[in-house]
Structure 1
Amino acid sequence: MFGVLQDAGTVAHGALTTLTEADFESPPSGAKSEENLAAAFRQLDAIVGLGSVKTFVRQLAAQMQLNAERREAGMKAAADTSLHMMFVGNPGTGKTSVARIVAAIYKAMGLLRLGHLVEVDRSALVAGYAGQTAIKTRQLVESALGGMLFVDEAYAIVTDERDHFGREALDTLIKCTEDFRDDLVVVLAGYPDEMKRLAASNPGIRSRFATTISFPDYTAEELMAITDAQLADEQLVIALEARASLGSIFRAMVAVRDRECGNGRAVRNLLERAKREQALRLVGLPGKKSKEQLMLLLADDFAPVLGELGLAGR
């Protein structure tokens, strides 16, 4: 592309609007691909918990690699498996993070050209008037070519039997999974029960999304590990009393097991609230704050949440 700027003369319009093969980066060498693959698996291993998910992803990658080696050896490979998948689990269980890593793994293995992730939901796919939903959906699919399209809350694309726009979006999406099957991976994500109903109600989904990865809720210990990682990333520490308070909060979350809370998203929200309490506490102190004061979260910073959960004094 930049080559057209080297000539000081007139440049044809076509040269400015046409991308050729030379404009794209060359595919990574074998050594670079191995390095990228190893880096992606390190990212996967660094995620807290999700042992069953990590194992499943490694199995998928191993199966794809073995199929390629069998074909190279002139042997019959296993029947081609659709790369499209369903990720089922409650919010905050790492579905989007794992999707990005899987896209990177597939790129390193040569299964995807670009390995980028495009995240959408119903609002991005459905237009407000007749005839435009299919166009809008296809444009989004095309923006994901060479990578992965991650459809969050996929069960909400069609709200009910009268939702013609949602049905048009879903039908278009399913057709695109076949039209672009060699240049696209689609992941449908959402709550377990709703995703089961979606698959049961649509034969096209059942046949094209044969692989389902289930994301379990986090344990109280895993929530604490996620907290420690976020604290380290933000250069924060918690006092021992605050750590005990957090343990009580996480155990209460796990016991209730509300699908709207108790996972990674809840940890982020909890820390954001504690930081606001810390800020309010510190601004009331005279003089310049020490580095230790700026870093330290106290039990008092978590007290409001403890009170709301009925855990005050524990």
Structure 2
Amino acid sequence: MTSRNNQINIVLNDHQGKPADTVPESDPFESVNLALQHFIGMEMIRDKMKEIYAFIEINKRRKEVGLKTEAQSLHMLFKGNPGTGKTTVARALANWFAELDILTNNHVIEVDRADLVGEYIGQTAHKTRALIKRAQGGILFIDEAYALARGGDKDFGKEAIDMLVTHMENNHQAFILILAGYPEQMDGFLRTNPGLRSRFPFIIDFPDYQPTELIEIAKKMVKMRDYHLTKQAELKLNQLIKKEIQRRDRLHFSNARYVRNTIEQSIRNQAIRLIKQRVYDVKAFILLTADDIPNDNE
């Protein structure tokens, strides 16, 4: 086999590559694990990130031996209900991509329809172009992106979509565009423009958290704030989460956001309790008891 740059002799067989006993024992996807180590669940997202990492790493090694490489567009579409981690993951990916030299910096420009769409002719183009320029080298994250198409063909949102599509195609290595929103609405949004879906090689689903995962998230949140849940508090919180899920349909349950709000309310309840009891020792400051966890009607 002849390469334009050099002569490469390759024996093609099913065992091409390093023998098993020379493969390093460390996890080859350690970079992915480190980037997403603080996230509970999200196995599907980890798998997608491993695809990206493997492609980048193999392309780098192909280039080193003189083989052709192909640039990969990394524009993404995140589909998930509120509180499933879409924005948080986008921020983590910005840091990871910057470490891998995919991006030149780790900034995330977080916007919605109001930041892109103007009220009169010419304003939308100016606003959208300015945001794309700000996002150069990083990530442009558009939350509730389906709102751009809600006004129909005569709405200025269509102009913003068309401009985004153009820049995605012409500058796909200069920045990464991530569109996010509810699953059903995002599917409808993709149908409004036939060229959209093909420009997002990574369409990632963010599933709702299970109650056990939400409890783990709660424990992590209290630990980060130097608190600790008693066994009774953990049991009450678990029951509260299950009841909230049953009471609301999944579309209106805010997942980790609900847990965060509940923990913050519990901390405020604890502060009131300690002030009333005039208890000011370290153990009391740390412990969140069942009395601090909000009741159903709060």
TM range (shorter): 0.7 to 0.9
Tell me, in whole angstroms, the C-alpha distance in 1 between the residues paired with 2:102 and 2:237.
Answer: 43
Query: 2:162 maps to what in 1?
Result: 171
- Which residue type is aligned with residue 300 of structure 1? D
Within 5 A, what are the aligned runs for 1:230-245? 230-245=221-236
Q: What is the CA distance between 1:233 and its match in structure 2?
A: 0.8
Q: What is the CA distance between 1:262 and its match in structure 2?
A: 4.7
**One of 269, 275, 288 as aligned partner of 1:283:** 275
Q: What is the CA distance between 1:294 and its match in structure 2?
A: 2.2
Tell me, in whole angstroms, the C-alpha distance in 2 between the residues paired with 1:174 and 1:186.
Answer: 10
Three-state SS of the structure 1 residue aligned to 2:149 is: coil
**One of 265, 280, 283 as aligned partner of 1:273:** 265
Tell me, in whole angstroms, the C-alpha distance in 1 between the residues paired with 2:87 and 2:239.
Answer: 28
**One of 47, 57, 60 as aligned partner of 1:68:** 60
Q: What is the CA distance between 1:53 and its match in structure 2?
A: 0.8
Three-state SS of the structure 2 residue aligned to 1:299 is: coil
| Deviant stretches of 4+, over 3 Å | 37-41, 253-257
Distance 1:117-1:303 versus aligned 2 partners, 3 A rule: closer
- Which residue type is aligned with residue 291 of structure 1? V
Query: 1:198 maps to what in 2?
Result: 189
- Which residue type is aligned with residue 171 of structure 2? F
- Which residue type is aligned with residue 189 of structure 1? A
Tell me, in whole angstroms, the C-alpha distance in 2 between the residues paired with 1:74 and 1:260.
Answer: 53
Query: 1:55 maps to what in 2?
Result: 47
Tell me, in whole angstroms, the C-alpha distance in 2 between the residues paired with 1:254 and 1:68.
Answer: 46
Query: 1:88 maps to what in 2?
Result: 79
Within 5 A, what are the aligned runs for 1:284-299? 284-285=276-277, 287=278, 289-299=280-290
Gapped runs of 5+ residues in structure 1?
1-36, 309-314
Tell me, in whole angstroms, the C-alpha distance in 2 between the residues paired with 1:262 and 1:182.
Answer: 34
Q: What is the CA distance between 1:38 and its match in structure 2?
A: 5.8
Tell me, in whole angstroms, the C-alpha distance in 1 between the residues paired with 2:66 and 2:185.
Answer: 43
Tell me, in whole angstroms, the C-alpha distance in 1 between the residues paired with 2:231 and 2:100.
Answer: 45
Q: Which has more helix, going by share of residues?
A: 1
Distance 1:171-1:230 versus aligned 2 partners, 3 A rule: same
Q: What is the CA distance between 1:39 and its match in structure 2?
A: 6.4
* CA deviations over 1:80-109 (Å, ceiling 9, x no partner): 432111011111111122212222222222
- Which residue type is aligned with residue 139 of structure 1? A
Q: What is the CA distance between 1:196 and its match in structure 2?
A: 0.8
Percent identical: 37
* CA deviations over 1:138-189 (Å, ceiling 9, x no partner): 1011101001111111111222216522112221222121232121110111
Three-state SS of the structure 1 residue aligned to 2:267 is: helix
Query: 2:36 maps to what in 1?
Result: 44
Contact 1:254 1:262 in 2 (8 A): no
Tell me, in whole angstroms, the C-alpha distance in 2 between the residues paired with 1:58 and 1:100.
Answer: 17
* CA deviations over 1:172-228 (Å, ceiling 9, x no partner): 222121232121110111111111111122123112113201111111111111111
Query: 1:224 maps to what in 2?
Result: 215
- Which residue type is aligned with residue 240 of structure 2? I
- Which residue type is aligned with residue 55 of structure 1? D
Q: Report the more deviating stretch, 66-75 or 85-94.
A: 66-75
TM-score, length-scaled by structure 1: 0.79
The answer to whether the aligner puts 1:154 opposite 2:145 as a matched pair is yes
Contact 2:267 2:288 in 1 (8 A): yes
Contact 1:250 1:262 in 2 (8 A): no
Tell me, in whole angstroms, the C-alpha distance in 1 between the residues paired with 2:161 and 2:211.
Answer: 37
Tell me, in whole angstroms, the C-alpha distance in 2 between the residues paired with 1:132 and 1:52.
Answer: 39
TM-score, length-scaled by structure 2: 0.83
Tell me, in whole angstroms, the C-alpha distance in 1 between the residues paired with 2:35 and 2:68.
Answer: 33
Tell me, in whole angstroms, the C-alpha distance in 2 between the residues paired with 1:214 and 1:303.
Answer: 31
Three-state SS of the structure 1 residue aligned to 2:178 is: strand
Tell me, in whole angstroms, the C-alpha distance in 2 between the residues paired with 1:112 and 1:225.
Answer: 32
* CA deviations over 1:9-68 (Å, ceiling 9, x no partner): xxxxxxxxxxxxxxxxxxxxxxxxxxxx96674131221111111121111111122123
Q: What is the CA distance between 1:250 and its match in structure 2?
A: 2.1
Q: What is the CA distance between 1:297 and its match in structure 2?
A: 1.8
Three-state SS of the structure 2 residue aligned to 1:245 is: helix
Contact 2:81 2:183 in 1 (8 A): yes
